[in-house]
Amino acid sequence: MRAKKSVFLILIVSLLAVLVGCGKKPVGEERVTIRWCVDNAPSRKAQVEAFEEAYPDIKVNLDFVASKGRMLTQIAGGTPPDVFPLYSLDDFIIFAKKDILLDITDYVKEWGIDMSDFWPQYLPAMVYEGRIYGFVENAGSMVFFYNKKMFDEAGVSYPTDNWRWEDVLEAAKKLTKKDPSTGRHIQFGIDSWIQEPFFIFWQNGGSIFNQEGTKCIINSPQNKEALQFFYDLQFKYHVSPTSLDRTGIQASSGWAGNLFEGGKAAMIICGRWMLMSFRRNKELEFDIAPLPYFKERATIIASKTYSIPKSSKHIKEALKFLRFRLNKENQLIVARTGDGIPSLRSVANSKEFLFNPDFPNETRNYLFLEEMKYARPMEVSKYISGFDFRRIWYEETEKMWIRKQSPSETLDRIAERVNSIMRKRYLEMAK
C-alpha cells in the first residue's frame, strides 16, 4: 500500500513538472532583439557584451551601415533601427525638427542624469528647443599626433604646447624624405588627410557664417590665408601628400588606415578615436601635443548622438540600451579602447581615463581634456542644411585639390553657391 502511494506521488510530481515546464518558453525565446546601427569601431563588440551581460533578456544585433540616407529610408519604410547615430549637429537638428526622434526628457529626469556633467559643447547635439532627444556617448577634439622615432632620427625637437603652424612647416621640411634613386617620396612631414579643416578658419580669426547665421562669409581674407597655407603644404613645400602621392606610397590597411599609422608620415591631425588604429602598429612610437594654431587656439568637436526613432518597435529595450551608454562601465570601455573621450566629465577626469596600465606610454591623456577648452561644434545656419553645405564644400575643394582652381577661387565659389541657397531659404521662411 505504501509502495502504491509512493508511485502515485511520483506520478503527480512528474505531471506537475511537465505542466509547469509547458508554461515556460525555451531559453532564448524570451529575449528581445534590438538593432544598433553604428560604425564598425573595434570597441563595439565589448560594448554589446557588457550590455547583454547586464541585461540578459535583451540581444543586440550590430548593423554597421548607419548612413543618414539609409536611416531615413528604413524609418520611412517601417523597418527602423532601435538605436542609431547622428554624426553631425546639423543632422541632429534636422531629425529632431522633423519629429523623428523619441523625446527622452522625462526619462532623463527619472534616471537622475545630471546634464551638467556633459561637456557643454555637446548639449546642442542632444537638446532641441529645450527637450532632450539623445546622448553623446563619446567624442573629442582634434589634437596633434607625432612619430617620436622619426623626430629623433631627424634630430627635430618634439612639438611644444605652443607650436604655431609655422613651426609645423619648418619641422615638416626636415621630416620629409625622398628615395634618392627615384626622387619619389618615401616619408612625409605631415599627413593632412583631414577633409573638413574648418578649425583653421577659427584659428585665423575667421568663421563660416556671420553671427546672425544669415550669410556665408567663408571667403573672408582670414579664411583664404589659412586655406592657402594648407594648400601650400602639398603643392608649394611638398611636405604633405597629394592624392597622386597617395597612390605611389604604401599606406596602412588598419581600421582607418592613413600614412601616419603606416609609418609614412611624421605628424597628423586627428582625434583620440584613432588610437584604436594606431595601437595596432606595435612599431609606431607616438605621442600627442595640442593642436598648432595661427592667431588663436581653436579645434573642432567631432561627435555622434545616439537616438531612438519614435517608430522603434522596442522602445522599452532601446531605452535601456541608450541609458547604458552613460553607465560608468560603458564610458570606461570608451576610455580603455581609445574610442574618443567619455562624454561625462566625471568619468573623463577619472584616473581610469587619465592612465591606462595596458598602454603605459600614453601618459598625456590629460591633453585631450585640456584641448576641450578650445573645442567648438561645427557652425550651422537654419538657412542651409549641413548636407547642402558639405556637398558644395566637397565639390569645390575637390577642384582645388586637383589644381583646377586656387584656394581663393574655391572659397569664393563656395560662398557664392551657399549664399544663393541661403537667400532663397530666407525669402521662403519670411513669407
**Quick one: pLDDT at residue 250?**
56
Number of C-beta neighbours around residue 69 at 10 A: 8
Point out the domain boundary residue: 330, 347, 376: 376
User: Are residues 133 and 148 located together in one domain of the fold?
Assistant: no
User: Among candidates 319, 268, 285, 299, which has minimal Cα distance to 83?
Assistant: 319
User: Are residues 157 and 286 located together in one domain of the fold?
Assistant: yes
User: Are residues 259 and 363 located together in one domain of the fold?
Assistant: no
18: in domain: no
**Quick one: pLDDT at residue 371?**
94
pTM of the model: 0.86
314: in domain: yes
**Quick one: pLDDT at residue 89?**
87
Its domain, for residue 420, covers: 195-236+382-431
User: Are residues 189 and 256 located together in one domain of the fold?
Assistant: yes
9: in domain: no
User: Are residues 213 and 326 located together in one domain of the fold?
Assistant: no
User: Are residues 97 and 228 located together in one domain of the fold?
Assistant: no
Q: Which percentage of the chain shows pLDDT scores above 90?
A: 71
Tell me how many domains the chain contains. Answer: 3
User: Are residues 110 and 122 located together in one domain of the fold?
Assistant: yes
User: Are residues 102 and 200 located together in one domain of the fold?
Assistant: no
User: Are residues 217 and 152 located together in one domain of the fold?
Assistant: no
Contact 53, 25 (CB under 8 A): no
- Placement of cell 535583451 in the chain: 58
CATH number of the CATH domain containing 271: 3.40.190.10
User: Are residues 150 and 282 located together in one domain of the fold?
Assistant: yes
2: in domain: no
Residue 359: which H helix or E strand, with range? none
255: in domain: yes
User: Are residues 54 and 125 located together in one domain of the fold?
Assistant: yes
Tell me the torsion sign for CA atoms 362, 239, 243, 231.
positive
332: in domain: yes
**Which residues, given as ranges, of the chain have pLDDT below 70?**
1-29, 193, 250-257
User: Are residues 150 and 85 located together in one domain of the fold?
Assistant: no
5: in domain: no
**Quick one: pLDDT at residue 8?**
44
Q: How far apart are CA 114 and CA 104, in angstroms?
A: 14
